[in-house]
């Protein structure tokens, strides 16, 4: 079944949405699948709109206690929102509008009353990492990796990574990952606490689904109550960090360095940044 309108309630079974998301609702569990393998499961404007609508529905959904966000294919969880080529096709305001919408969608995912699992079936890049960071836990394939390349584009992650990542892995790892743009493999993700478990790449979907079912069999009030208590404890300071991130990201979009990154991408050369 293909749907284009916002869902008033999430039907049981499999639902394909026009934005490129697939929903699988079984019992107390819901899978949200990025079904855009043809473009590495990129998070588009339509995908973000659909995620926002789904979050609105889930906030009033007493029948769902655990949500798992994953993707189709075996190579990419998601390549994210933007890259230099896509950025060059958009105005600065369009870029910022997309980033702000991603912030709203990822904040809404984090604020869901349900436990939210990110199941990384492959590489997560840029905004794909930030989507995973907005989830409560992360299970990864043995061939998964995360990479935030924005510093090499003259910018920094603008959809939550500087806010959420230090809380998960500490200041030093967060600074190193964001500023170097290096790719971190699954075993290192597990070691520093960015991932909670590494699953077999060949049997990833089955193993992730088994975990989803086990959590879904737990008491819904227990899951939602525990999440509410933990969020209440961790909330102080988040809003101030979010406001600073948004302000700096907006200023960055009009910097000479961002323009240089776009020009370098078009010319297929290394950018020469000036820090202004």
Q: Which residues neighbour 119 within 8 Å (Cβ) at sequence distance 6 or greater?
A: 68, 69, 70, 138, 139, 140, 204, 208, 212
- Token look-up 């000036």 returns 274
Separation of alpha carbons 233 and 275, rounded Å: 37
What average pLDDT does this structure show over 98-110?
A: 94
- Token look-up 């509410």 returns 228
> What are residue 97's DSSP bridge partners?
none
Predicted local distance difference test score (pLDDT) of residue 252: 64
Integer angstrom CA distances of residue 63 from 34, 97, 118, 221, 266:
22, 33, 20, 11, 49
DSSP assignment of 101-151, as one string? HHHHHHHHHHT-SSEEEEEE-SEEETHHHHHHHTSSEEEEETT-EEE-GGG
Q: What is the mean pLDDT of the chain?
A: 89
**115-147 pLDDT per residue, tens:** 999 999 999 999 999 999 999 999 999 999 999
Predicted local distance difference test score (pLDDT) of residue 1: 47
**82-102 pLDDT per residue, tens:** 888 888 888 889 988 999 999
Share of the chain above pLDDT 90, in %: 64
Separation of alpha carbons 178 and 150, rounded Å: 8
Share of the chain above pLDDT 70, in %: 90
Q: Are 195 and 188 in contact (CB under 8 A)?
A: no
pLDDT score of 5 more than 60: no
DSSP state of 202: T
Separation of alpha carbons 78 and 207, rounded Å: 20
Q: How many CB atoms lie within 10 A of CB 16?
A: 14
Separation of alpha carbons 220 and 217, rounded Å: 8
**179-200 pLDDT per residue, tens:** 999 999 999 999 999 999 999 9
């Amino acid at each position: 079944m293909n749907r284009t309108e916002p869902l008033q309630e999430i039907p049981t079974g499999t639902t394909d949405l026009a934005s490129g998301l697939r929903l699988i609702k079984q019992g107390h569990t819901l899978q949200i699948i990025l079904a855009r393998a043809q473009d590495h499961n990129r998070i588009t404007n339509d995908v973000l709109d659909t995620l926002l609508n789904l979050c609105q529905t889930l906030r009033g959904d007493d029948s769902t206690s655990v949500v798992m966000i994953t993707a189709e294919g075996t190579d990419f969880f998601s390549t994210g929102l933007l890259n230099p080529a896509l950025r060059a096709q958009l105005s600065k305001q369009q870029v910022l509008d997309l980033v702000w919408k991603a912030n709203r969608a990822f904040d809404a995912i984090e604020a869901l009353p349900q436990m939210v699992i990110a199941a990384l079936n492959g590489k997560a890049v840029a905004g794909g990492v930030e989507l995973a960071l907005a989830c409560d836990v992360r299970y990864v394939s043995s061939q998964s990796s995360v990479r935030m390349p924005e510093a090499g584009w003259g910018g920094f992650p603008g959809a939550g990574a500087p806010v959420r990542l230090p809380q998960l892995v500490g200041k030093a790892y967060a600074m190193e990952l964001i500023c170097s743009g290096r790719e971190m493999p699954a075993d290192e993700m597990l070691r520093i606490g960015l991932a909670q478990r590494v699953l077999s790449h060949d049997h990833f979907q089955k193993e992730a689904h088994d975990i989803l079912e086990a959590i879904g069999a737990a008491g819904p009030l227990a899951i939602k109550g525990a999440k509410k208590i933990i969020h209440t404890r961790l909330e102080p300071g988040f809003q101030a960090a979010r406001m600073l991130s948004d302000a700096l990201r907006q200023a960055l979009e009009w910097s000479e360095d961002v323009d240089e990154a776009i020009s370098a991408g078009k010319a297929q050369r290394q950018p020469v940044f000036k820090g202004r």
